[in-house]
Amino acid sequence: MKSFIKALSLLTVVGFFAASCEKDLCKDVETGTHGTCLEGIVTCNTGYEKNADGLCEIEWSAKFLGNLVAASDTVTTGPNAGGPYTYNTTISRVSEVKLSTTNFSGFGASNVVEIDVISSSELSINYTDVAGRAFVGSGSITNRTITLNYTVTFPSGGGVDNTQTIITLP
Average pLDDT over residues 65-91: 89
With 50 as the cut, is the pLDDT of residue 75 above it? yes
Per-residue confidence band for 133, with pLDDT thresholds at 50, 70 and 90: very high
- 51 vs 68, residue with greater confidence: 51
Give me the pLDDT at residue 15, please: 53
Average pLDDT over residues 29-34: 93
Picking from 41, 12, 15, the residue whose alpha carbon sits closest to that of residue 26 is 41
Picking from 118, 111, 157, the residue whose alpha carbon sits closest to that of residue 135 is 111
Give me the pLDDT at residue 8, please: 46
Q: Which residues face 146 on adjacent strands? A: 141, 167
Q: Are 125 and 116 in contact (CB under 8 A)?
A: yes
With 90 as the cut, is the pLDDT of residue 6 above it? no
Per-residue confidence band for 143, with pLDDT thresholds at 50, 70 and 90: confident
How many angstroms separate the CA atoms of 89 and 106, rounded? 8
**Model pTM above 0.85:** no
Give me the pLDDT at residue 166, please: 94
Phi and psi at residue 63, to the nearest 5°: -75, -10
- 170 vs 158, residue with greater confidence: 158
- 65 vs 148, residue with greater confidence: 148
Average pLDDT over residues 53-71: 85
Using CB atoms within 10 A of its CB, is residue 116 exposed (0-12), middle (13-18) or buried (19+)? middle
Give me the pLDDT at residue 110, please: 86
